[in-house]
Amino acid sequence: MSSDHILNPSKKIEAKYQSSVILLTSGKVVTGLVVEDAGGELKVLDNPAAPDRLVLVKKGDIEERSASDVSIMPKGVVNKLTREEILDLLAWVVAGGDREHALFKEHEHHK
């Protein structure tokens, strides 16, 4: 992941984070990340802000399923962060999540 992926989350989406657009036979559309595909149903995370609430979709109710070209990470999410939080996020990405990396030792970062 690079800073460009943070600023433009839909530019390139890794397969494991690819949302699906699911058209049901009822005409309803469910869009989200399929977190489980087992038996006769899918469990879909349709709201990243509520990861404990999944939508259950019966496979028999699916008329069409396709990959979404829009990331589940909303565009502009960094606009709500302070300068320090953005620097912390970029340091985390560059350091690969290693808290012992030199970028984290330069000054105190948020935990």
The whole-number pLDDT of residue 74 equals 61
* Residue 22 contacts residue 29 (beta carbons within 8 Å): yes
The whole-number pLDDT of residue 22 equals 95
**What are 81's two structure tokens?**
């962060």
The whole-number pLDDT of residue 30 equals 94
User: What residues contact 103, with CB distance under 8 A and at least 6 apart?
Assistant: 91, 94, 95
Q: Is the dihedral of CA 96, 97, 99, 100 positive or negative?
A: negative
Per residue in 84-99, pLDDT (tens digit) is 887 777 777 777 777 7
| Stronger pLDDT, 22 or 10, i.e. the higher one | 22
User: What domains can you pick out in the chain, each with its CATH number?
Assistant: 18-72 (2.30.30.100)
Per residue in 13-51, pLDDT (tens digit) is 666 777 889 999 999 999 988 999 999 999 999 887 788
The whole-number pLDDT of residue 100 equals 78
